[in-house]
Amino acid sequence: MENLNDTTEMFILLGLFNHTQTHVFLFSMVLMIFLISLLGNALMIVLIHEDPQLHTPMYFLLSQLSLMDMMLVSTIVPKMATNYLMDTRTISPAGCGAQIFLFVTLGGGECFLLAAMAYDRYVAICHPLRYPILMNQKLCFQMTAGSWLLGGVDGLMQAGTTLSFPYCHSREINHFFCEAPSLVRLACADSTFFEFLMYVCCILMLLIPLSLILASYSLILTAVLHMKSTAAQKKAFATCSSHLAVVGLFYGAIIFIYMRPKSYHSVDRDKVVSAFYTIFTPVLNPLIYSVRNKDVKEALRKWIEKHFLGHLQ
């Protein structure tokens, strides 16, 4: 059997869109969502950096989430847009490996970061008097660094292993970016052990953080229901419901792709779900966290007054 696993051999990304009128419109919408995502997450980072009222563990973790979302969407959309506009579908093995590494690093890091944010809310609501001790700056930095590190280790393992397989037949990836499950389907070597390792990684990177999140919010819900103040209950529910919305969207889509049995996989459906958590979720995060958050809205008002209205007066 001829081995075409040459580092110079290009992969072909079949993409998400064709050049029909409907798909041109959908592509334009994706570009608009991409730009809104970049601007929204960048603005969130700037507001948290500039406003002293937002210099708390909760908002520091949120700024890291925004940074990960910016990098995640920038890993996928620019290459997809370039291929579509230039009417080319190729991607080099190095480019493919970089996409896998960055995607897994950022996606895995976000899983742990969301768990850290759940712990932060648990401490703030259930142990408010001990919050400065239980959620100190050192622990906050450690959880953030751990999220990046664990995501990076998983990304390095998946990218290196995926590209080490021989690809002896088609190099056409029926996807709009290089995602490990789509690439492994093309391998002409036995990938059973790698798929088992990937499943174990999913348990560690997805189910364990998700279990911690659900446990944290179960304790939060119990504490909120025992609150005597209706105003305090509403504030707690508003904060936690926004976080749970992000968690549900993000974890639900990734678990759907990575932890289903092979027999349930559908290429077209998988591409749509992948688009949801790589393109749409990053634009939703800043909206979800800001629309019902008085602190963020107040910081935005002051920022606009300082940088725009102040120059007009």
Closest C-alpha among 101, 43, 95, 102 to residue 71: 102
275 in any annotated domain: yes
Specify the CATH number for the domain of residue 130: 1.20.1070.10
Instruction: Classify residue 3: in a domain, yes or no.
Output: no
- Between CA 28 and CA 32 the distance in angstroms is 6
pLDDT of residue 148: 97
**Band of pLDDT at residue 8, cut at 50, 70 and 90:** low
Residue 28 has pLDDT above 90, yes or no: yes
Q: What contacts 270, CB < 8 A, 6 or more positions away? A: 175, 181, 182, 257
Is there a domain that residue 260 lies in?
Answer: yes
In a domain? residue 2: no
How far from 229 is each of 30, 70, 127, 131, 224, CA to CA, in Å? 43, 38, 16, 20, 9
* SS3 per-residue string spanning the chain: CCCCCCCCCCEEECCCCCCCHHHHHHHHHHHHHHHHHHHHHHHHHHHHHHCHHHCCHHHHHHHHHHHHHHHHHHHHHHHHHHHHHCCCCEECHHHHHHHHHHHHHHHHHHHHHHHHHHHHHHHHHHCHHHHHHHCCHHHHHHHHHHHHHHHHHHHHHHHHHHHHCCCCCCCEECCCCCCHHHHHCCCCCCCHHHHHHHHHHHHHHHHHHHHHHHHHHHHHHHHHHCCCCHHHHHHHHHHHHHHHHHHHHHHHHHHHHHCCCHHHCCHHHHHHHHHHHHHHHHHHHHHHHHHCCHHHHHHHHHHHHHHHHHHHC
Confidence class for position 48, pLDDT limits 50, 70, 90: very high
Q: Tokens 């999140």: give the residue.
A: 213
Structural domains in the chain (count): 1
Query: Which residues lie across from 121 on neighbouring strands?
Result: none
Lowest mean pLDDT: which of 51-60, 65-74, 98-107, 240-249? 240-249
Q: What is the mean pLDDT of residues 13-30?
A: 89
Q: For residue 185, how far is the Cα from the chain centroid?
A: 23
Q: Quick check: is 232 in a domain?
A: yes
Per the model's pLDDT, the better-predicted residue between 186 and 238 turns out to be 186
Contacts of 130 (CB under 8 A, 6+ apart): 123
Torsion of the alpha carbons at 258, 259, 261 and 264, rounded to the nearest 10: -60
> What is the distance between the alpha carbons of residues 35 and 283, in angstroms, rounded to a whole number?
9
Q: Which domain covers residue 291, as residue numbers?
A: 11-312
Q: pLDDT tens digit string along 259-299?
A: 776 656 677 778 888 888 888 888 888 888 777 678 888 88
Would you say residue 6 lies in a domain?
A: no
pLDDT value at residue 111: 92
1, part of any domain: no
* 76 assigned to some structural domain: yes
Residue 185 backbone zone (phi > 0: left; psi -120 to 50: alpha; other: beta):
alpha
